[in-house]
Structure 1
Amino acid sequence: MQSKKIFVAALIWFSCNLAHAGDAIRIGMIEGMSGAFANAGEAVARNLQFAIATVNARGGVSLPDGRHPLALEIFDNKQAVEESLMEFKRLTDKRIAFMAQGNSSAIASALVEAVDKHNQRTPDNRVLFLNYSAVDPALTNEKCSYWHFRFDAHADMRMHALTEVIKGDKRAKRIYLIGQDYSFGRLVAQTARTQLAAKRHDIAIVGDELHPIGKVKDFAPYIAKIKASGADTVITGNWGNDLTLLVKAAKEFGLNVKFYTFYGNSLGAPAAIGDAGVDRVRAVAEWHPNAGAGVKESPSDRFYQGFLQRYPQARDDYVLLRMHVMIEMLAAAIEKAGTTDAHAVAKALEGASYHNAFHDATMRAADHQLIQPLYVSVMRKKATDGLRFDNEGSGYGFKTELYLPAANTALPTSCRMRRTPH
């Protein structure tokens, strides 16, 4: 009886507080939730929901009229540019001020142009573009926009971290480049060539291959070409199923090379390559689950375990710290601006910093590029070398091989941003 009274009292308290809560501050996510890369879109949604729940658990965002929860609204672009532009129109019709997107630099580029035009035409319904994964450097260089903020390291920054490791690997002599045939894949290959030429004059590029994005079901012919080239190292920017199928084919055909990847620690890749990836597959990211350096109950561990509590299924185990940082920095900027107006929030985000017990980041005002640490980590079996966590229940995790502090990841920008007057 007593427990029933407590439950009823709690329900009344919750209902009263809900009634007095302000309208939700909506974030519209435009992402591929169907098709070949649906698993990547679903992973983004989980991470954003986790970050939003963290903000809401402490009462939401404080504005002059009270506290407001954050809410995520998802728009499926089917990983296509035209669909993205249609979904952007739906988003603006709903007067959602904050748009999040990232899985595809080609889509991001189209959306930057769409946001610029929309905000110029309708200053009473402006939109801020929060980019969590589209890493074409142009987006914060020649195509930079006041309305666009990137929370991921761009491709040149990521490649800089990877090539710093390759620079010290004297066994790396013959490099094969393989990637998806669109702007990002071409960019990764170009950046790899440039940086390797500057850092290792003795390295030979023995192959440079692009394949259709999201359409290859059997990578065996590509693996055969890599084997025939005599390559000892592969560099790829592949992501989603294109990465998983690539490394799976490499395992099946006994390709004995090192893989330097942008995303080799996720979405099925560790399980697909298995033992063949131990000490061979490397990935670069702003953080990884074993970044806590084996210290039990470190702040990094607690963050990761909080995610696992919310999403306990092994298939959902893909944590992206940058998305958590993005939501936290957005919430802080809204509070600083005292409004959800896109222009005011953009101004508050410029130069803003994020700090927790294991991560520091700053939004560079000159180009709206987040400057944060980067880790290059190497695949290992769980429980070896103090490795506490595996990825996606695969039995394989990643151990830090190189840590670059934020100051060492920053690269110059050519951005000449036009700042819209208030």
Structure 2
Amino acid sequence: MRKFMIAAAFALPMLGGAAMAQETLKIGYIDPLSGGGASVGEVGLKTFQFLADELNAKGGIQGKKVEIVPLDNKTNPQESLIQAQKAIDAGVRFLTQGNGSSVAGALSDFVTKYNERNPGKEVLYFNYAAVDPALTNAKCSFWHFRWDANSDIKMEALTNYMKSTPSIKNVYLINQDYSFGEAVRTAAKSMLAAKRPDIKIVGDELHPLLKITDFAPYIAKIKASGADTVVTGNWGQDFALLLKAAADAGLKVNWYTYYAGGTGGPTAIKQANLNHQVFQVNEGIPNEDNAPAQQFEKALRAKYDFSLFYPRAVNEMRMLAAAADKAKSTDPVKVALVLEGMEFDVFNSGKGVMRKDDHQFFQPIYISSLGERTEKEPFDEEKTGWGWKLVAKIDTPATTLPTTCKMERPN
């Protein structure tokens, strides 16, 4: 009896620990927390942690406390797979990542193969920012869901706006040399040619990802080309340093971008004195007149002193909670089946839908410019005094592009 009681005394804490573990829903956040992409990776991590706190204040997801598990991938596909396996071994069944489509492609393939080998232990991969169109076309997977508009959707919106701007005559393309950068340049050339055949592409440059520290030689080429407009998908330090070099060289052209609002971007724009000359396409802006979104924005800035760069992350986490509630389960397969075709009121305003055919989320798309604010624009960026101004809003139906996805679903 005494031996039994001693054994029971040791077993109780262990059982208690197991019970506590079961009450936690872990989400593995795989993104750069060191190296050239660390600035955007840290912002993403804190954003997801803020969202986890929001959900936990409401009781979590299906009564489970949400925990964000940070995993540094150094923007490297192979390192990402190591971190993904580490997360799965620790009981994580939901992974999220955004920075780098090369990473996203590797993760999607890894998760798909893992789930084939491990029925009953499936894992879902939630993509909040990697926008290579192939991920929801030729390389689509049942286990991958994307909340960001792919680069073709964004370029469709940008070029529709650009085609009605007669001052655009000569365009220079500069992008990062990997799958996403290739997708941006390809879409820009084909769409501009179709919509504004009079526009000349006077430069088309690819450069190494997150390795350039001085963009002065690239800016010199842009100046020499006679470009009046630059189109770039650059993000992170590759955008901030590009604009810094433009400021140093006194280059005054208009910029059409995907990620000008990322860390360091607004500061570089202000230093270059490009007042409402830098445009960004994304799924929301802080200065939209939407009371719930602005309350969230104020709370986030009060805690972390940066703006919400990822409205899509809000949609992702809130839709995960809604799908789990509808499924009455946090089982990845059951959650995935509910997410397919799910309609949702998006963070900024309007309706969004997760298309069942390819797991691409469609939502309103915004084009905005950064510069001096009016009374209607309460939020500035990075203490520059400048803020985002709405230029155009494209409703969800007009953002929908066809897919070539031939998805294999689990039995």
TM-score by length of 2: 0.92
| 1:183-202 paired onto structure 2 within 5 Å | 183-202=179-198
Please give the secondary structure, in 1, of the residue aligned with 2:120: helix
CA distance in 1, matches of 2:351, 2:367: 17
Given the alignment of the two structures, is residue 25 of structure 1 paired with residue 25 of structure 2, yes or no? yes
Partner in structure 2 of residue 40 of structure 1: 40
CA contact (8 A) 2:353 2:363 kept: yes
Q: Is the 8 A contact 2:297 2:307 kept in 1?
A: no
User: Residue 359 of structure 2 corresponds to which residue in structure 1?
Assistant: 368
Paired AA for residue 57 in structure 1: A
Is the contact between residue 266 and residue 392 of structure 1 (CA under 8 Å) also seen in structure 2? Answer: no
User: Is structure 2 residue 112 aligned with structure 1 residue 116?
Assistant: yes
1:83-122 superposed matches below 5 A: 83-122=79-118
Q: Give the distance between the partners of 2:264 and 2:350, measured in 1 at CA.
A: 26
- Report how far residue 318 of structure 1 moved: 4.0
Tell me how far apart the structure 2 counterparts of residues 55 and 22 of structure 1 sit (CA, whole Å): 17
Deviation of 1:239 (Å): 0.1
Match of 2:280 in 1: 283
**Which blocks of at least 5 consecutive residues in structure 2 are unaligned?**
1-18
User: Is 1:305 equivalent to 2:298 in the alignment?
Assistant: yes
Deviations 1:64-93 (CA, angstroms, capped at 9, x unpaired): xxx111111011111111101111111121
CA distance in structure 1 between the aligned counterparts of 2:315 and 2:260, rounded to whole angstroms: 22
Equivalent residues of 1:375, 1:400 under 8 A apart: yes
Shift of 1:360: 2.4
Which whole-Å CA distance do the structure 1 matches of 2:60 and 2:350 have between them?
22
Work out whether residues 334 and 345 of structure 1, in 8 Å CA contact, stay in contact via their aligned partners in 2: yes
What's the secondary structure of 2:387's corresponding residue?
strand
Equivalent residue for 1:244, pick from 240, 246, 255: 240
Matching residue's letter, 2:49: Q
Q: Distance in 2 between matches of 1:108 and 1:149?
A: 11
RMSD over aligned Cα atoms: 1.5
Q: Does the CA-based 8 Å contact 1:318-1:391 persist in structure 2?
A: no
Q: Whole-Å Cα distance in 2 between the matches of residues 393 and 376 of structure 1?
A: 22
Q: Trace 1:327-406 onto structure 2 (pairs within 5 A).
A: 327-355=317-345, 358-382=349-373, 384=374, 386-406=376-396
Answer yes or no: is the 8 Å Cα contact 1:147–1:346 preserved in 2: yes
Q: Deviations over 1:362-400 (max 9, x none)?
A: 111111000100100011113x36321111212111101
Aligned to 2:156: 160
Residue of structure 1 equivalent to 2:178 = 182
User: Offset at 1:202?
Assistant: 0.6
Letter in 2 for 1:362: V
Q: Deviations over 1:191-230 (max 9, x none)?
A: 1001101110110000000111111110000000000000
CA pair 248-318 structure 1, distance change in 2 beyond 3 A: farther
Following the alignment from structure 1 to structure 2, what is the Cα–Cα distance between the partners of residues 197 and 319?
31
Preserved contact between residue 252 and residue 274 of structure 2 (Cα < 8 Å): no
Q: What CA distance in whole angstroms lies between the structure 1 residues aligned with 2:138 and 2:21?
A: 42
Paired residue secondary structure (1:259): strand
SS of alignment partner, residue 29 of structure 2: strand
Q: Indicate the residue corresponding to 1:150 in structure 2.
A: 146
SS class of match (1:216): coil
Equivalent position of 2:10 in the other structure: none
Q: How far off its partner does 1:52 sit?
A: 1.3
Q: Is the 8 A contact 1:116 1:145 kept in 2?
A: yes
* Structure 1 outlier segments of 4+, above 4 Å: 19-22
CA distance in 2, matches of 1:386, 1:61: 36
Q: How far does residue 273 in structure 1 lie from its aligned partner after superposition? A: 2.3
Query: Alignment partner of 1:276: what SS?
Result: coil
Identity %: 45
Q: Is the 8 A contact 1:97 1:342 kept in 2?
A: yes
User: Which residue does 1:10 correspond to in 2?
Assistant: none
Kindly report which structure 2 residues correspond to 1:407-418, keeping only aligned pairs within 5 A, or say none: 407-418=397-408
User: How far off its partner does 1:359 sit?
Assistant: 3.8
CA distance in 1, matches of 2:351, 2:312: 11
Q: Which amino acid aligns with 2:23?
A: D
